[in-house]
Amino acid sequence: MKRLAARPENRHQAQILSLLRDEGAMSRAELGDVIGLSRTKVALEVDRLTALGLTENAGPAVSRGGRRSTLVRLAQDMRFLGIDIGATSVDVALVDGELRILSHVSQACDVRSGPRAVLDTVVALAGKLRADAGVPDVYAAAVGLPGPVSFKDGAPVVPPLMPGWHHVPIRDLLSQELGCPVTVDNDVNIMAMGERQTGAARGAEDFLFIKIGTGIGCGIVLGGRVHRGVSGSAGDIGHIRVEDYGPACACGRTGCLEAFFSGAALARDATLAAKASRSTHLADLLSANGRLSAIDVGLAAAAGDPVAVELVREGGRRVGQVIAGLVSFCNPALVVIGGGVAGLGHALLAEIRGVVYRRSLPLATENLPIVLSELGATAGVVGAGRLASEIVFVAPG
């Protein structure tokens, strides 16, 4: 079943492949203009890529005068696997060379059940997608994990939410079981790259992607590349201090951002409010469902429940305070808010914007858009697909 996928032979071929991934079909003339190569040289490289099965002709280009050019595009049978392992679910998608999602499955799966069980689920889902699509081979796969990852080693490093995963060689295990090269990264990093590929951060070189889910994390993209830090823990902002005292955090300290605001904190505060009969709306939802989630708070807030609205505002204020500091520190071009709790939508966004615009350096916010994720639950698999393509679209050596 396994064949060794073709690879570009040099830097120019790798550049051509990346351009076709990001821009879709292009004429040889356009490729030459962007890369700074002569028509003859581009034609030569494209012919080699086509011979390798990596690109193909896509019909005549619109004439720019002179000899009619032919469009070239990535081979239409090129496939990557994007895998997003969350705290409580696994998403696997089959994407084409231009990172369009061809099929996507999501399955509940507790990351605390350990690497073996979770990888079995991943391999089964990937096998099913490939079988359904009649695609035995993929060029490469990439995986996001909900914890710090040593990118170099392809393994999680002391991940707090993932008992039993420390230093397990996920990259090598999956590579063997999927029969293709694999990269492993932190889930927030791949979501950030997904938003950059086809979402709210399309084409942005320097931006922050803030994921507010069960916990809070940040994907840092600088110069178009993910900044991972020396230990792979960059962006782990959930335990930044916002007060000296406050609710106890899972990390054992007090005053952490996550202890004030996150999916878990929101559910906790809503449950307290419901039990104390401060909100009949939340109390009704609690008695109906037996438990409250961040989504319930969003529904209650949308329905005008004042306690829920206040919880969202207060949370937005807290996360906004931390984002304001990060904006002053790294002066990004854009901030994208994503993750499950981003489903709270514009009430949350308005509060975050208010705090950041008020508290950051004016020069840093003058032209700073703060927007919601566009890809939502698919950001992770798209970003993982992008990361997988980067394994293949590189020059040798």
Q: Footprint of a copy of itself on this chain (CB under 8 A)?
A: 148, 157-158, 206, 218, 220, 222, 227-237, 239-241, 253, 321-322, 324-326, 328-333, 359-364, 366-367
Find, among 153, 171, 183, the residue nearest to 115 by Cα.
Answer: 171
Q: Which is nearer to a copy of itself, 38 or 366 (CB)?
A: 366
Q: Which is nearer to a copy of itself, 346 or 358 (CB)?
A: 358
The residue type at 334: L
| DSSP letter, residue 376 | G
| DSSP letter, residue 242 | S
Residue 22 Cβ vs a copy of itself, minimum distance, rounded to whole Å: 21
- Give the Cα separation of 73 and 395 in Å (integer): 19
> Cβ(297)–Cβ(344) under 8 Å?
yes
171: number of CA atoms within 13 Å, CB side? 20
Q: How far is CA 182 from CA 87, 294, 330, in A?
A: 20, 33, 31
- Give the Cα separation of 50 and 44 in Å (integer): 10
Residue 284 Cβ vs a copy of itself, minimum distance, rounded to whole Å: 34
- Give the Cα separation of 262 and 238 in Å (integer): 9
241, two tokens: 């201090």
> Cβ(339)–Cβ(360) under 8 Å?
no
Q: Which is nearer to a copy of itself, 139 or 207 (CB)?
A: 207
Q: Coil, strand or helix: which one is 152?
A: coil
Q: Which is nearer to a copy of itself, 172 or 206 (CB)?
A: 206
Residue 172 Cβ vs a copy of itself, minimum distance, rounded to whole Å: 21
Q: Which is nearer to a copy of itself, 27 or 360 (CB)?
A: 360
Residue 333 Cβ vs a copy of itself, minimum distance, rounded to whole Å: 4
> Cβ(203)–Cβ(23) under 8 Å?
no
Q: Which is nearer to a copy of itself, 289 or 329 (CB)?
A: 329
Q: Which is nearer to a copy of itself, 309 or 333 (CB)?
A: 333
Residue 241 Cβ vs a copy of itself, minimum distance, rounded to whole Å: 6
Residue 236 Cβ vs a copy of itself, minimum distance, rounded to whole Å: 5
Residue 47 Cβ vs a copy of itself, minimum distance, rounded to whole Å: 28
Can you name the residues that pair with 334 across neighbouring β-strands? 207
The residue type at 226: V
